[in-house]
Structure 1
Amino acid sequence: MGVWDEITVKRRLSSVNLWCVVGDFNSIRCEEERVSTSGMRCSQSDMRAFNEFIENMEVEDLPTIGRRFSWYKPNCTVRIRLDRILVSREWLLAWPGSTQMIMDRCISDHCPIKLQVSNSD
């Protein structure tokens, strides 16, 4: 069983509805999330599988502010949005103004991501 399947099973078995899944998913949702000087195309089946995972988890990809990409090859010939924050619909009801901010990278080839939550109360 893959990690996405494990997370999906945990979600289904949980009585908690406020979910926030953060990390390097090592996958993209659409071709616009990857830019490469080599012109290499993205795997349609990988994108479809990742989008199905998001749908099965019943989570939303938060709106992004800041940088467009979260991972950069050291020579910047490849830029990809691998890292993201996914939240449940119940999360969005509790914190409707939630966003994810892709910040500047400094040490790693990945950019840090910050969850920004505005309290509606």
Structure 2
Amino acid sequence: MAIHSDTIGYAGGLWLLWNSDRVEVSLISKIEQEIHVTVKVCASDFSWIFFAVYASPRFEERSILWNNLSALAELHNMAWVIAGEFNEPLVEDDKFGGRTVSMNRSLQFKDCLDKCNMVDLGFSGPRFTWSNGRELSMLIQERIDRFFVNIVWYSNFPEAKVTHLTRCHSDHCPVLLETTQHFQLQLPKPFRF
């Protein structure tokens, strides 16, 4: 199953795809920078809000997104995930090359996340999720693709982990959220003298 938002010319656009055997997804709203759905796990009664983001490269339009997220946070107390391309590094370590990170823009992004009571799940894999693909002297890399969750969601999936996968066919690497870890069966060791 899928839901998508329209592109703006050749830019933007979001696709949200899911396996309908595992989850039921209901559309709440969608506009250029966001798709907003509820997700219900078929094997349980647990539901949460999922907010897929493609933040505009233009700061003025990103500000609209931050305002939408902040307003939504006041309307519910459900488990919540916000994921996607935010087009804004949060801290200086989220960027290599090019201009320095704008503290003003980063603080507005962080203020939005604070109003939404969101935490970054962290990651494993390569540090940066986007690259301009140029030679080292002109190379710019950024961590702008992320998963954020609120404590209600995290308390239901405390083992969740995010992995930055290998980049291919895009200037962004895929970012994978796993809600369960794969444990290897460990048999007890035999006792020996």
Greater than 4 Å deviation, 4+ residue runs? none
Return 5+ residue gaps in structure 1 as ranges. Answer: none
What residue number does 1:92 align with? 154
Q: Is structure 2 residue 161 aligned with structure 1 residue 102?
A: no
Q: Deviations over 1:61-107 (max 9, x none)?
A: 00211110100002160000010000111111111121211111111
With structure 1 as the length reference, what TM-score do the two structures score?
A: 0.88
What residue number does 1:28 align with? 89
Aligned pairs, how many? 116
What residue number does 2:79 align with? 18
Identity %: 25
Larger Rg: 2
CA RMSD of aligned residues (A): 1.5
- Work out which of the residue numbers 157, 160, 177 in structure 2 matches 1:115: 177
**What is the deviation of 1:14?**
2.5
CA contact (8 A) 2:69 2:112 kept: no
SS in 2 for 1:13: coil
Return 5+ residue gaps in structure 2 as ranges. Answer: 1-62, 182-193
One-letter amino acid of the counterpart of residue 54, structure 1: L
What residue number does 2:27 align with? none
**What is the deviation of 1:118?**
2.1
What residue number does 2:108 align with? 49
User: Structure 1 CA distance, aligned partners of 2:110 and 2:73?
Assistant: 16
The structure with the largest helix share of the pair is 1
- The structure, 1 or 2, with the larger RCO (C-alpha pairs under 8 Å, 6+ apart) is 1
Q: Is structure 2 residue 66 aligned with structure 1 residue 7?
A: no
User: Structure 1 CA distance, aligned partners of 2:127 and 2:87?
Assistant: 16
User: Structure 1 CA distance, aligned partners of 2:84 and 2:73?
Assistant: 16
User: Structure 1 CA distance, aligned partners of 2:96 and 2:106?
Assistant: 15
One-letter amino acid of the counterpart of residue 53, structure 1: C
One-letter amino acid of the counterpart of residue 112, structure 1: P
